[in-house]
Chain A
């Protein structure tokens, strides 16, 4: 199989979401930090339960859970984008 640019691109994406994500900073982001410092973090509500809250699979959590959630997210976003991109493509 010939190595194509998009295979390399996807490999990089999976590496980032599945491996590098384990080393991501757990610190609050800019908005979360401001919300905590200024007392409105408590206003956040959950209107429904996402299947993979905070990028982790249900269950015991841990590294494998984050890895798999990241990989799953990459696949979901990829498929959704390819779907509409194919629909909106120039018709021959």
Chain B
């Protein structure tokens, strides 16, 4: 759901850019001097993995496809602040090099797919995984957070389109949420599967300090 240039008016994309820039600044400031050496290769591989998995659109319903967004996945490994910096890096490369998402709308895309997936997603993940505990709690938390954040990202996207006068909320919201309730299932399954695989193969990679 990368918004291209032209879908949002300046009254909408400017404040969203300000929020995204603020979140990038806050994350950089909070992460600075707290990353450990062993975080560095993990962040690199997570960024590469999420970029690659975002290329893999799968058909969902009614002639529509969707792909994993990955914000929750990254935040489960490294915490929300570091994860937001990774999502910001991916979205910036996609917009600048691949015309996937606009420049004016990059802030909106960072909010929809970055902030919601990492900040809110990590909070939801912790809420569910702490309540259920153990390996199953972790998988359930990741799945729930993955699904909810995709659906909420599509809600945010619809609100932005409506506020821009691009598509009325009564049209955009049900359509966007409908497709993303299905795409969210893909997000939930892939997020839980990757975390399940890593917790079996290299559990230490999931135990790094969360930033």
A61 at the interface (CB under 8 A from B): no
**B93 near A30: Cβ-Cβ < 8 Å:** no
Q: Residues of B at under 8 Å CB distance from A?
A: 1-7, 28, 31-37, 39-49, 51-53, 55-60, 62-67, 85-86, 89-90, 92-100, 102-104, 154, 157, 161, 166-167, 171-172, 175-176, 179-180, 183, 201-202, 205
A81 and B86: CB pair below 8 A? yes
**Are A38's CB and B167's CB within 8 A?**
yes
The 4 closest A-B CB pairs, nearest first, are A45-B6, A30-B179, A25-B65, A50-B99
A89 touching B48, Cβ below 8 Å: no
The chain A residue with its CB closest to the CB of B39 is A85
Interface size class of A (residues with CB under 8 A): 35 or more
Across the interface, A81 reaches (CB within 8 A) one of B47, B55, B205, namely B47
Q: What's the minimum C-beta distance from B172 to chain A, rounded to whole angstroms?
A: 6
Chain A residues at the B interface, C-beta cutoff of 8 Å? 5-6, 9-10, 12-14, 16-17, 20-21, 24-31, 33-35, 37-38, 40, 43-55, 69-70, 72-74, 76-78, 80-82, 84-86, 88-91
Given contacts A24-B57, A38-B175, contact A89 B97 (CB under 8 A): no
Q: A62–B92 Cα gap in the complex (Å)?
A: 25
Inter-chain residue pair count (beta carbon < 8 A): 202
Q: State whether A73 touches B98 (Cβ < 8 A).
A: yes
| Majority secondary structure of chain A interface residues (helix, strand, loop or mixed) | helix
Indicate if the CB atoms of A30 and B154 lie closer than 8 Å.
yes
Residue of B nearest to A87 (CB): B32
Would you list 25 pairs from A and B whose C-beta atoms are within 8 A, ordered by A residue?
A5-B202, A6-B45, A17-B48, A20-B56, A21-B56, A24-B55, A25-B58, A29-B57, A30-B154, A33-B175, A34-B175, A44-B102, A52-B97, A55-B98, A77-B47, A78-B44, A78-B48, A81-B43, A81-B44, A81-B48, A84-B89, A86-B40, A88-B35, A89-B35, A90-B35
